Chain A
Amino acid sequence: MQERLQTLKEEALTQIEAASSMKELQDIRVAYLGKKGPITEILRGMGKLSAEERPKMGQLANDIRAAISEKLDEKTQVMEKAAVEEKLKEETIDITLPGRPVKKGNHHPLTRVIEEIEDLFLGMGFSIAEGPEVETDYYNFEALNLPKDHPARDMQDSFYVTEETLLRTHTSPMQARTMEKLNGEGPVKIIVPGKVYRRDTDDATHSHQFMQIEGLMVGEDVRMSDLKGVLQSFAKKMFGEEREIRLRPSFFPFTEPSVEMDISCFNCGGSGCSVCKSTGWIEILGGGMVHPNVLRMSGFDPEKVTGFAFGMGPERIAMLKYGIDDIRHFYTNDSRFIKQFKHI
């Protein structure tokens, strides 16, 4: 009996070793360890043995059962692992194939520049005011210290709709509109982005429609040095930390004193190149201290408050910042142009 058991064990282990599929292993398990299997049968015949031999033989049979079972488990694991490996191998892909693009659009470069500037000024406590594109002569000119017949009106030939209304030539009318609503109570801190229109023939540097961002701050003790400080933050944010600014005297009817702001050339750093026309400086915007007539007409007392204002052109800023050579690109909407402003 003992021999028979040993033989069975040898047989089973050999068969397990040779098995090549899970099915075979299952068959072997049923054949050797099943209720009708030879070991069960041997154990059934143990009644014929002596009481002494019986436990010994039982022990041996159980050991053999365990050995076979263990071997079966072992082999199953090996085969399962191989099967998984086989499956993984089959699932292998060419990871260099292009990914499935999430096709997104992006905003127009002018919106990009405007929002960047908006966010900068929001951070400084300014809010964003928007106003009508068709304006009255009063808000566009007169309230800005530009009475009818003022020679400075030549500077910006305009599109009139009627004698008293026109397409705004700047976003400055919102200065008066905003201040009027406040009944002389400051502070006023706004920026005004928007479309403006001038009687120009469209070419590489002129556009009859373009964007402007006006800024206005009015309050007690607002100084020109504050204007310089605010514009310096702006220049560094838009054109890089190393930028320096300079203010040059200029003239606008709605500010006194008036200035123009240059930034040190971001291309050459100030040593002179084609971008800055060898001067080291690039003209960016105009501004100044709000003219007392403007304050007065909008209900503020120039004895009590002062203010600064500035106006800049997002097209110009975008052209400088991104090296765009023709202002018409902003309005032809060539998708190859707009798509270039996708990444940060």
Chain B
Amino acid sequence: MLVSLNWLSQYVDLEGYSADELAELITKGGIEVETVESLNKGIKGVVIGHVLECVGHPDADKLSVCKVDIGEEEPVQIICGAANIAKGQYVAVAKVGAVLPGNFKIKKAKLRGEPSHGMICSLQELGIESKLVQKEYAEGIFVFSDEVTPGEDALEYLNLNDNVLELGLTPNRADAMNMIGIAYEVGAVLNRPISLPSPELVRSEENAEDYVSVRVENEENTPYYGATIIKDITVKPSPQWLVNRLVSAGIRPINNVVDITNFVLLEYGQPLHAFDYDRFGSKEVVVRRANQGEKIVTLDDTERTLSSDHLVITNGTNPVAVAGVMGGADSEVQQDTTTVLLEAAYFNSKLVRKSSKDLGLRSDSSARFEKGIDRNRVVPASERAAQLMQELAGGTVLRGVSEQGARHIEAKDVTVEVSRINQVLGTEISESDVAAIFDRLQFSYKNFGGTFTVQVPPRRPDITITEDLIEEVGRLYGYDNVPATLPITESTPGQLTDFQLKRRRVRRLLEGAGLYQAVTYSLTSPAKRVFFSDESPEAIRLAMPMSEERSELRTSLLPHLLEAAQYNINRQLENLAFYETASVFLPSGSDLPEEQEHLAGVMTGLWQEHPWQKEKKPADFFVIKGIVEEIAEDLGLEDRLTFVRAEEPKLHPGRTAAIQLDGELIGYIGQLHPEVEKELDLPETYVFELNLEKVLKANVAHLKYAKLPRFPSVTRDVALVVDETLEAAEVKRVIKEVGGDKLVDINLFDVYQGEHLEDGKKSLAFSLRYYNPEQTLTEEEVKNAHDRVLQAVEEQFGAALRS
């Protein structure tokens, strides 16, 4: 909503406040002023001129040589290139020395040999947007239609000394979508009285009801509909004051009749529609639901197809307007219109919203109906418009209004106690202060011992409950005056849940291990939704995606993490380590999908690097596996998390493991399949993804201290030669199985293949530590246990001791 301060000052005295000060006060009062715009874009020295003579330029077809009276002793000669220049016109002249928007300075000039002392201006040259310039002046200079005096400041006449506030209205403040509503608000904020227009109408002897009847099929949809008839209209341009009002509000002037309905819309907030009575097509207005598939060509020359969800105005046969949204082209007011059927109605806001949404058609009218207009202002607004048509278009207003429905509704009572106000706000506002605030708002009330029963006028439909009144009092009392306190309630322990605490630990650990946290999008494309072969084939898909690229909720994190890696690789950032914790979304069979929190990581390039020591440690399978193992250990799951050889189409067949927790599959780890690497243009890349919830929710016993060793332990190293395909974990498992309770540690310390070993064989060297917490181990105990180990590995794997 654009608010001209010149216009607003017609209703409320703004004396003593600058535009910026007003903006600040209005904002603090609750309606945000987004911008303060001066309509004068730096103009100086533009006056009204009277074209005394105008002849063709001797040397140029398109130029005219004019003698212009600019209120000085002698007329000046100005060369003008506009096609619509003519003798006798009153025009805006930028004198020599004048400045136009963009710091454009006017100097004496010679055009094709003829001296020119100034410039005759178009409205665009004066800084008015092209879309707001009347059609007749769009291609040329502007011509005053009112009586004006040469030499006077043209800016005053064109309202270019005005300031305009742009309001950012919240949906509840539909009351401020019109000048009268804003006058009430500013009056309350400034604590100043307001004066409203009181239209005086002279009505003719003829009755409107003899011209037209009104029938509303459903009063719930249309609580009030009134038709006023105005005869003897002359359609012509509006006077400058009306043009100025519309331009300041961002509406292009058309002709007096249309301008008047727009003006009243802006002033009263009441959308009106003027039909050409002779083109209406009947003598009856019928308001009804549209028939399925019924068509209408609206004012914007577009054919619209309607349904029974839409409310239409008809002439008994055909629709002539989409109620509250836009009129039809057939009954539009035209140059030759003489009789106007003026509609002023109250339509159901939901129906207008529905039509506007379905037809993709938003208008100044629909915007107001949707948010709710003032029921009690419908008739006064139509009277205001009729009065202006009488005044500005020579119209004769017929007696009465053809109407259906009640013209007025009663104010609603809402009650609030002063004690409640103070309880909610934490303030100590007195009864008399509360009364004064309601006075400023021009709300009538009764006060019994601090209990206010307020009659809320229909112009404020947003106020329906006690809390709404508390807000009114609070905002005008000023939130700056509300103290800052700390809550007095029973104390509550503020702590992270076990899950949240562990998740923070996991993140810290990953970061300590060199990974950076990434955050990627949840919405993805069908192609990028899935990474692993066991993921859900069905997706959670948006009903109306904005693009295919963001149409489904992801079921794994890796595709977007890999995308992040790609992004960095493309920028020559080669050593990458990212992790992300986020939800994936799985169909669950119930209303909401299952949201599972996952953890994924991606590593490529060097993991650690010490350049001058010439040490480089590239990320590899065991780096990333070590990090996952570290997480398990941090969470007390080191003995429960296992890695089992696995195959996944997008991972390297020889370098992939399934991650299991207590034997249950919870994720995968491995190198990207070289084909996938090639496809994504990534170098050797290692990844993992696991179900973080399973890991964080696994029950773990409380940490308990283990007694420090009191006796020496014995360590025996053993190097076993086995088949190269045998997995180390299998050997370890068997060692552990047969080692007995004295075998407390099994550490693999060497893996060797090559010289001195048979082809197809490898050597695995373990360090086995034996310990007895009760007493010093005897040589025999150790020997027995160790022999069992050696025997078992030999029997099971044919493992030979390496000499």
Give the interface of A toward B (CB within 8 A): 97-98, 100-101, 103-108, 110-111, 115, 118, 121-128, 130, 132-136, 149, 151-152, 154-155, 159-165, 167, 186-187, 189, 195, 197, 199, 201, 208-209, 217, 219-226, 228-230, 232-233, 245-251, 256-259, 289, 291-292, 306, 330-336, 338-339
How many whole Å from B184's CB to the nearest CB in chain A?
A: 15
Tell me the interface secondary structure of chain A in the complex. Answer: mixed
Q: Which 3 A-B pairs have the closest CB atoms?
A: A225-B426, A249-B30, A223-B426
How many whole Å from A178's CB to the nearest CB in chain B?
A: 13
Q: Please state if A334 and B568 are interface contacts (CB–CB under 8 Å).
A: yes
Which A residues touch B486, using CB under 8 A?
226, 229-230, 233
Which A residues touch B583, using CB under 8 A?
133
How many whole Å from B378's CB to the nearest CB in chain A?
A: 20
Q: Which of B471, B482, B546, B578 has the most CB of A within 10 A?
A: B471
Choose from A135, A155, A257 the contact partner of B171 (Cβ within 8 Å).
A155
- A151-B353, A249-B474 known; 12 other A-B pairs, CB under 8 Å? A105-B512, A122-B496, A128-B500, A159-B523, A161-B542, A167-B523, A195-B582, A223-B423, A232-B484, A248-B479, A289-B424, A334-B567
Which A residues touch B568, using CB under 8 A?
333-335
B563 to A, closest residue via Cβ: A333
A123 to B, closest residue via Cβ: B494
Q: Please state if A292 and B467 are interface contacts (CB–CB under 8 Å).
A: yes
**A222–B497 alpha-carbon span in the complex (Å):** 25
**A61–B562 alpha-carbon span in the complex (Å):** 89
B577 to A, closest residue via Cβ: A105
**A201–B468 alpha-carbon span in the complex (Å):** 35
Q: Please state if B521 and A224 are interface contacts (CB–CB under 8 Å).
A: no
**A68–B515 alpha-carbon span in the complex (Å):** 68
Which A residues touch B531, using CB under 8 A?
none
Q: Please state if B511 and A104 are interface contacts (CB–CB under 8 Å).
A: yes
B567 to A, closest residue via Cβ: A332
How many whole Å from A210's CB to the nearest CB in chain B?
A: 10
A-B contact pairs, 12 of them (CB 8 A): A111-B519, A209-B523, A221-B488, A223-B423, A224-B482, A225-B485, A232-B484, A245-B484, A249-B28, A249-B471, A333-B568, A334-B568
Q: Which residues in window 477-535 of B have CB below 8 A to A?
A: 479-480, 482-497, 500, 504, 507, 510-523
How many whole Å from A160's CB to the nearest CB in chain B?
A: 5
Q: Which of B394-402, B605-613, B643-651, B754-762 contacts A (4 or more CB under 8 A)?
A: B605-613
**A187–B492 alpha-carbon span in the complex (Å):** 8
Q: Please state if A106 and B517 are interface contacts (CB–CB under 8 Å).
A: yes
Choose from B474, B520, B613 the contact partner of A333 (Cβ within 8 Å).
B520
Given contact pairs A106-B517, A134-B553, A230-B487, A257 touches B470 in the complex (Cβ within 8 A): yes
Residue B371 is within 8 A (CB to CB) of chain A in the complex: yes
Q: Please state if B487 and A248 are interface contacts (CB–CB under 8 Å).
A: no
Q: Please state if B595 and A132 are interface contacts (CB–CB under 8 Å).
A: yes
Which B residues touch A122, using CB under 8 A?
494-496
Choose from B27, B28, B519 the contact partner of A330 (Cβ within 8 Å).
B519
Q: Please state if A220 and B489 are interface contacts (CB–CB under 8 Å).
A: yes
Given contact pairs A195-B522, A225-B426, A289 touches B467 in the complex (Cβ within 8 A): yes
Q: Please state if B541 and A229 are interface contacts (CB–CB under 8 Å).
A: no
Which A residues touch B500, using CB under 8 A?
128, 130
CB-CB contacts of B568-579 with A at 8 A, as 1s and 0s? 100101001111
Choose from A107, A130, A233, A247 the contact partner of B507 (Cβ within 8 Å).
A107
Q: Please state if B30 and A250 are interface contacts (CB–CB under 8 Å).
A: yes
Residue B32 is within 8 A (CB to CB) of chain A in the complex: yes
B519 to A, closest residue via Cβ: A108
How many whole Å from A204's CB to the nearest CB in chain B?
A: 17
Q: Please state if A223 and B492 are interface contacts (CB–CB under 8 Å).
A: no
Q: Please state if A338 and B518 are interface contacts (CB–CB under 8 Å).
A: yes
Give the interface of B toward A (CB within 8 A): 27-30, 32, 170-173, 349-350, 353, 370-371, 423-427, 465, 467-468, 470-471, 474-475, 479-480, 482-497, 500, 504, 507, 510-523, 540-546, 550, 553, 564, 567-568, 571, 573, 576-579, 582-583, 585, 591-593, 595, 607-610, 612-613
**A219–B172 alpha-carbon span in the complex (Å):** 27
Which A residues touch B28, using CB under 8 A?
248-249
Which A residues touch B490, using CB under 8 A?
187, 219
Q: Please state if B543 and A219 are interface contacts (CB–CB under 8 Å).
A: no
Choose from A124, A209, A219, A292 the contact partner of B465 (Cβ within 8 Å).
A292
**A228–B425 alpha-carbon span in the complex (Å):** 10
Which B residues touch A136, using CB under 8 A?
591-592
Q: Please state if A251 and B171 are interface contacts (CB–CB under 8 Å).
A: yes
Q: Please state if A249 and B479 are interface contacts (CB–CB under 8 Å).
A: yes
How many whole Å from A126's CB to the nearest CB in chain B?
A: 5
Which A residues touch B608, using CB under 8 A?
103
Q: Please state if A128 and B497 are interface contacts (CB–CB under 8 Å).
A: yes
How many whole Å from B551's CB to the nearest CB in chain A?
A: 10
Which B residues touch A125, using CB under 8 A?
491-494
Given contact pairs A107-B507, A108-B518, A187-B490, A128 touches B496 in the complex (Cβ within 8 A): yes
**A249–B25 alpha-carbon span in the complex (Å):** 12
**A41–B316 alpha-carbon span in the complex (Å):** 152
Which B residues touch A187, using CB under 8 A?
489-490, 492
Given contact pairs A107-B511, A223-B425, A257-B474, A209 touches B522 in the complex (Cβ within 8 A): yes
How many whole Å from B262's CB to the nearest CB in chain A?
A: 23
**A124–B507 alpha-carbon span in the complex (Å):** 24
Choose from B425, B467, B546 the contact partner of A291 (Cβ within 8 Å).
B467
How many whole Å from B461's CB to the nearest CB in chain A?
A: 12
Q: Please state if A336 and B573 are interface contacts (CB–CB under 8 Å).
A: yes
Q: Please state if B543 and A160 are interface contacts (CB–CB under 8 Å).
A: yes
Q: Please state if A306 and B424 are interface contacts (CB–CB under 8 Å).
A: yes
**A256–B740 alpha-carbon span in the complex (Å):** 71
Q: Please state if A333 and B578 are interface contacts (CB–CB under 8 Å).
A: yes
**A291–B465 alpha-carbon span in the complex (Å):** 10
Which A residues touch B173, using CB under 8 A?
251
Which A residues touch B32, using CB under 8 A?
248, 250
Which B residues touch A247, using CB under 8 A?
479-480, 482
Q: Please state if B495 and A219 are interface contacts (CB–CB under 8 Å).
A: no
A150 to B, closest residue via Cβ: B171
**A220–B488 alpha-carbon span in the complex (Å):** 9
**A199–B544 alpha-carbon span in the complex (Å):** 10
**A119–B483 alpha-carbon span in the complex (Å):** 25
Which A residues touch B427, using CB under 8 A?
225
Q: Please state if B541 and A161 are interface contacts (CB–CB under 8 Å).
A: yes
Q: Please state if B571 and A334 are interface contacts (CB–CB under 8 Å).
A: yes
Which A residues touch B571, using CB under 8 A?
334, 336
Q: Please state if A224 and B425 are interface contacts (CB–CB under 8 Å).
A: yes
Q: Please state if A226 and B567 are interface contacts (CB–CB under 8 Å).
A: no
Which A residues touch B371, using CB under 8 A?
151
Choose from A115, A219, A245, A338 the contact partner of B489 (Cβ within 8 Å).
A219
Which A residues touch B474, using CB under 8 A?
224, 249, 257
B35 to A, closest residue via Cβ: A277
Choose from A103, A108, A121, A229 the contact partner of B484 (Cβ within 8 Å).
A229
Q: Please state if B543 and A162 are interface contacts (CB–CB under 8 Å).
A: yes
Given contact pairs A248-B28, A249-B474, A228 touches B595 in the complex (Cβ within 8 A): no
**A80–B664 alpha-carbon span in the complex (Å):** 65
Q: Please state if B517 and A338 are interface contacts (CB–CB under 8 Å).
A: yes
